[in-house]
Structure 1
């Protein structure tokens, strides 16, 4: 099964050969560390980890280490070029190459769950969509956690701190296409599409003419996330803007920040207890399965930013999780938290295809021709213009289900400003399911998704080996509501294009199994055969009220029952947002950075640390590791 766009072979080779050298400030081996003790150790240099590192090191007296399992993002064209985001396939060095267990809701198929294995994490590999969530999402989180600091009114300053709206690559007049008040003055570049497609006017004019459930909304980042609109993306000057480029790169010259890549954290260590509470201070690091672990310590906190798969896996490997599960695997339980790895939620997605007129200007020929692909790439390299300045979709819409969908079902969405389903429009054939790129013809792709799913899954360990992938079971489409919602989403997409005159001169007809899916039963068969996810896993270390016995983290994102351990990534989401999630991760990270600063009173710094004895032991460990590498080389 293909989960991403395929690009011509010669062009793949070109992308691999076009890698620039990494920043010299990055450390590529634990042997390069000059010390072993920091104020904060951040595990994961991804979307959230880069934000935390940048904000904490604004105080020059605070020493921070970032540990990233992946490589540098610098010089990777399929990271830098927005359109090529979908060429980041499982099997590449910048993907974790996760695969689910067999999914009962998908006829027992397994599906890939791409996650960024590179600085910037999934902000370096996603398809760049920028949604901050409806006001209702944040207020719902506040109600769940019983903490007003997560309400929209309290969170808005942190959201505005993440981003700013910039001019699209083609410099077109964007007046009336977005709400300027919905964007801030932060480091991330956000822009509207910088290369028009023939779908743009058809989608938006249809929405404006039909109204109702498919209404037009000028800007889906203004609090009401229901309606059709232009997509806003993390793109500036035609290039991807990620946490690595916007937050981490500007901080790399700070003497109080070390960034260690190609290195995996395999265990968190609690060397002591305080009043019966384990205090986590150590992180064991390796680069390969045969390495002797090197231990670094955090005098203040270890901050986990490994994402909804990596974070629960590391907690479980460290003895933090369901006691019985850990004991069965031979892991000594340190802290019994039954919900670690539970409550996994993702947005299911189904691709559908339509053949269109032969004179349509879709991107199909580009995906079939290495020459055309390289010409378009050269245009991007030389001028930052052309198709490649965009993500593969310019327009989309979020819909609420009809009222009759909730006769026997409470609406699982956060509130009336949130949707239940999503429709995205791609101006070409995007092989995201079982179908391959047709050799001839022109097509469009319409993606339908359920953004308020009720299906739940889990992350569990397959073994105590940190290099063995965990068992990932998102439970895709395992509830009646989710399947009914997806059927409605497919029907809505069909009705959207068949009841408007803006499509009459364009369509030749549905392609593949969609052509014969005329009943709900046939649509269900299509859905089970083709569905994947949007790759938005959340919830596996979810927040809950401070005194609640359920959940993993408290409203300050500290791991319950532990000291010195905090989680900052999408795993803490207590409820999945009805939108794309990266903007919410950035916002959570900005909020968490201030929480950490408040907790450690940055205005009154501690006296100079006494590190002599720790450094001496660390030097011994490094000599042992160096000897190990020499022996292995011999």
Structure 2
């Protein structure tokens, strides 16, 4: 193999490996000091001209393409041997350019539970606020003190379709009361409402906005189509820890290039690729590294372990009346052409937003109290069997305003039918997985084994959540009289009344919510599986940090977009503090 070309004419203070959600925040905030030079290395292409990034409704067209990492999980026993497509954005902005745009922060308790200095719920919520510029409207009652008005991330509430308003009525009727701006405050573990989205004036806002557009600065160099192979270390002259000083990459032509950093290197390549880069760099479980002929620099058994995700299940329904859902804007006749034209010319309409509608948090204690598995499960004082306190939700419900979801669902209602779904999402899963690599080849996709639903408690909670979701739709006063049947018929059956009847459906239809995290977790000094300390520094070396949702010891009870922004903001502040 030819030696890497060293770019001696390019000197940087900081190198950020990954121009996704967190990495772009780190780079943008560091660049506020005009005296430092930052290099951002992104494996994918520039997103400036990717219409399906900026047009929120085009999100799915970025999957199964060069703009997707095209990762597929190891077949999961808990899913009956199915594999899941674990899509991640591979372009500047990363998964903030393909996600559901949902600003569902979780609860402050989620972050307090980490037990790490500087990462309390109050502090993490403050960093989410710092990233945001919120744009309200007359219908949405935003919570005072929770939204920011000066960050690069522009957000606004969603204008609800009629079916979503009816679902909110049903949620309230079935014991999930309306709580304004619940998903910004996280102050109730049982409630419903609308939520804020990362879109403004018909354009999706992404992490890339921290380093492009109005926030492009001359002291940031962005190199796209540059795959990070590994971090290079130099020995300490005093016998101390090895120091990260350079990054070895593969460019679009397959040539190796090396870039040096005088201060620090920040790894922000996501929960699948950050551990893979550490492993290729010699940081990971020594036995695993030896098996693929990689020399160990730090024996760190936690690298690639502790992989967590939120499982979701779509349950679809057909409605009796036209106009309740938005299917007529995209699936009926030549409607899509007119809808696309509207977005191109006005940046309005169906494609200017993401087709999610009503949302709810729910506790399931009462519904599960007589289940033997729930009653007999071990638990800590003040916690339920999932490890959650009473102020943390067990599950989330949210809806689509038309037919749509995982790409395998292709029976679109083109024959003037009108459909929607309610989605059940599992929080705090007991089933944790791994990310490993098969070789030192940086172009080889990591091996992702989520071990979805292997723990019986996960299946118990998710199947009961599906049962509850179905009750909301077919019993709730807003929707019970508008539902005609399930869509398509093979997906669900309204006759399911017992929790156990939902288990086969869950096993067949559960998919990922694309919230992988935890694979390079922070932890206290006495935690042998902690890859990082509480300041995001990689243990055993100097000059190297990780900043993305892989650092989360435990996922929040929400979505991971806003924590990703908070992690980037927090990392940048710590880098500035340490530089001073």
- TM-score after normalising by structure 2: 0.92
- Partner Cα separation in structure 2 for residue 477 and residue 303 of structure 1: 33
Match of 2:562, SS state, is helix
Match of 1:422 in 2: 396
1:238-282 deviations in Å (ceiling 9; x for gaps):
210111124443343x33211000111111111213534111111
Q: Is the 8 A contact 1:346 1:453 kept in 2?
A: yes
Q: How does 1:34-45 map to 2 (within 5 A)?
A: 35-45=9-19
The equivalent position to 2:180 in structure 1, one of 218, 225, 243, is 218
Tell me if the contact between 1:269 and 1:280 (Cα under 8 Å) persists in the aligned partners.
yes
SS at match of 2:452: coil
* Mapped pair 1:535 → 2:514: yes
Moved more, 370-379 or 552-561: 370-379
Change (3 A) 1:31 1:517: farther
Residue 188 (structure 1) aligns with: 153
| Cα distance in 2 between the residues matched to 1:279 and 1:346 | 32
Superposition deviation, residue 430 in structure 1: 1.3
* Partner Cα separation in structure 1 for residue 72 and residue 188 of structure 2: 31
Residue in structure 1 matching 2:196, options 229, 232, 235:
232
Residue of 275, 282, 293 corresponding to 2:246: 282
Rounded to whole Å, the distance in 1 between the matches of 2:102 and 2:311 is 16
Give the corresponding residue for 1:442.
418
Q: Report the equivalent of 1:264.
A: 227
Indicate whether 1:249 and 2:213 are aligned. yes
Residue equivalent to 1:551: 530
1:382 aligned residue: 345
- Tell which deviates more after alignment, 427-436 or 257-266: 427-436
CA distance in 1, matches of 2:364, 2:480: 26
Deviations 1:158-184 (A, max 9, x none): 2221112114xxxx5235x32132201
Q: What is aligned with 2:91?
A: 118
TM-score of the aligned structures, taking structure 1 as reference length? 0.84
Partner residue in 2 for 1:432? 406
Deviation at 1:426, TM superposition (A): 0.9
Q: Which one of 306, 318, 341 corresponds to residue 343 of structure 1?
A: 306
Question: Deviation at 1:591?
Answer: 1.0
CA distance in 2, matches of 1:262, 1:594: 28
- Identify if the C-alpha distance between structure 1 residues 192 and 96 changes in structure 2 by more than 3 Å, giving closer, same or farther: same
Q: Say which SS state the counterpart of residue 157 (structure 2) adopts.
A: coil
- Structure 2, unaligned runs of 5 or more: none
Q: Distance in 1 between matches of 2:491 and 2:56?
A: 30
- State the match for 2:111 in structure 1: 138
Q: Residue 318 of structure 1 aligns with which residue? A: 281
Is 1:163 aligned to 2:132, yes or no?
A: yes
Higher helix share: 1
Indicate the residue corresponding to 1:589 in structure 2.
568
Deviation at 1:83, TM superposition (A): 2.3
Equivalents in 1 of 2:284, 2:8: separation in Å?
Answer: 33
- Match of 1:528, SS state, is helix
* Structure 2 counterpart SS, 1:502: coil
Alignment of 1:99-114 (within 5 A): 99-114=72-87
8 Å contact from structure 1 (residues 433, 530) kept in 2? no
> Which blocks of at least 5 consecutive residues in structure 1 are unaligned?
1-29, 602-634
Task: Give the structure 2 partner of residue 627 of structure 1.
Answer: none
Aligned to 1:63: 37
Q: Aligned partners of 2:188, 2:34: CA distance in 1, in Å?
A: 40
Q: Report the CA distance between 1:87 and its aligned residue.
A: 3.5
Match of 2:357 in 1: 394
CA pair 413-165 structure 1, distance change in 2 beyond 3 A: farther
- Give CA deviations for 1:491-531 in whole Å, capped at 9, x if unaligned: 11111122222223311122324116454343111111111
Tell me how far 1:152 sits from its aligned partner: 2.2
Aligned pairs, number = 557
**Are residue 512 (structure 1) and residue 490 (structure 2) matched?**
yes
Aligned counterparts of 1:85 and 1:538: Cα–Cα separation in 2: 21
Structure 1 CA distance, aligned partners of 2:351 and 2:186? 30
Tell me the CA shift for residue 31 of structure 1.
9.4
Task: Please give the secondary structure, in 2, of the residue aligned with 1:93.
Answer: coil
Structure 1 residues 442-591: aligned runs within 5 Å: 442-510=418-486, 511-515=489-493, 517-591=496-570
| Deviation, structure 1 residue 231 | 2.1
Moved more, 556-565 or 69-78: 69-78
Residue 355 of structure 1 and its aligned partner are, at CA, apart by 1.5
Q: d(CA) in 2 for partners of 1:330 and 1:31?
A: 23
CA distance in 2, matches of 1:423, 1:304: 33
Name the SS for the 2:113 alignment partner: helix
**For residues 308 and 417 of structure 1, what CA distance do their matches in structure 2 show?**
27
Q: Does 1:204 align with 2:160?
A: no
Separation of aligned partners in 1, 2:15 and 2:525: 24
